[in-house]
With several copies, the nearest count.
Chain A
Amino acid sequence: MKLSVLLFAAAREIACRDSIDIDVPDSGTVAQARMSLFEAVPALESSAATLLWAVNNEFANEERILRESDVVACFPPVSGG
């Protein structure tokens, strides 16, 4: 299935765009979305350990299974306040 991943802050700047379309197997996980993202934007891979993922406005771990209707986002650790 096709998924659009929203990118923010340094992740957005490194990818030079605020969202990116990736391919993930049906019932694929966040871990698989991450692999697809790094294939599309290799420059993000060096930050793999710190990048966070969110699905439908909540933080998601690597095992989270994705659906086509999910709003998926990837970004560095937050630093607001």
Chain B
Amino acid sequence: MIELTQQAIDFSALTEAVRDHRAGAVVLFLGTVREFTGDIQTSWLEYEAFPEMAEAALNRLEAECRERFTVVGVAIAHRYGRLELGDVSVAVAVSSPHRAQAFDAGRWVIDTLKNTVPIWKKEHYTDGAAEWLHPESAPGSLSGNGDTELES
């Protein structure tokens, strides 16, 4: 199950969606808007999406997760638009018979999502400045001076 939305993500419903009598373990990951990165204070975030391709990429991600790991349920939700401090930007829920696979699958999904799903994050700082963040694995993108420490 995948969801690309401009509304708040209901992580409880996402978790319930993967619970199953065949599973002994559920792992939920939430990415949330962090206020401070070192001394830099974020005021709010803007996520831009290429919706059609992002939905296709999220569906591919779910399918590949099911191929790579022994999972029962997989649910991925990503929000876009304006997000405030503390808001959930992304949620990944997986269930598996055993916990090692649940942790490994959850981590693989969020790591791969950050490299493959066409969504971009723009930080708006309290000093009025704004910048598109650099992704973790591709230093030197179009603007700003982010580095891997900026990522959650």
Interface bits A32-57 vs B (CB < 8 Å: 1, else 0): 00000000000000010110001001
Is B132 a contact of A81 with CB atoms below 8 Å?
Answer: no
A78 vs B78: C-alpha distance in the bound complex, in angstroms? 13
Which residue from B52, B141, B151 sits with its C-beta under 8 Å from A81? B151
Contacts of B132 in A (CB 8 A): 9-10, 76, 79
Is A80 a contact of B142 with CB atoms below 8 Å?
Answer: no
Task: Please give the number of chain B residues whose Cβ is less than 8 angstroms from any Cβ of chain A in the complex.
Answer: 36
Contacts of B22 in A (CB 8 A): none
Is B56 a contact of A79 with CB atoms below 8 Å?
Answer: no
Task: Please give the number of chain A residues whose Cβ is less than 8 angstroms from any Cβ of chain B in the complex.
Answer: 23
Q: Does A11 contact B (CB under 8 A)?
A: yes
Is A80 a contact of B120 with CB atoms below 8 Å?
Answer: yes
A53 vs B99: C-alpha distance in the bound complex, in angstroms? 28
Contacts of B116 in A (CB 8 A): 59, 78
Of the 9-residue stretches B35-43, B64-72, B107-115, which lies at the interface with chain A? B107-115
Indicate the member of A47, A59, A80 with the most B CB atoms within 10 Å. Answer: A80
Give chain A's interface residues, CB within 8 Å of chain B.
6, 8-12, 14, 47, 49-50, 54, 57-59, 71, 73, 75-81
